[in-house]
Amino acid sequence: MYKITSQAHFDAAHFLFGYNGKCRNIHGHRWVVSADIAAKNLKDDPQERGMVTDFGSFKKLLKAEADRLDHSLIYEKDSLKPETLAALKAEDFALNEVDFRPTAENFAKYFFDKLKNAGFPVIRVKVYETPENCAVYEVD
| CATH number for the domain whose boundaries are 2-138 | 3.30.479.10
The ranges assigned to domains in the chain are 2-138
pLDDT category of residue 140 using cuts at 50, 70 and 90: confident
Residues taking part in catalysis: 23, 71, 129
**pLDDT, tens only, 20-64:** 999 999 999 999 999 999 999 999 999 999 999 999 999 999 999
Sequence letter at residue 111: F
Q: What is the DSSP string of 58-75?
A: HHHHHHHHHHHHTTSEEE
**pLDDT, tens only, 88-131:** 999 999 999 999 999 999 999 999 999 999 999 999 999 999 99
Q: What's this model's pTM, rounded to 2 decimal places?
A: 0.94
Report the candidate in 117, 7, 12, 119 with the shortest Cα–Cα distance to residue 72: 12
Task: Please give the Cα distance from 23 to 3 (Å, whole number).
Answer: 35
Tally the residues of the chain. 140
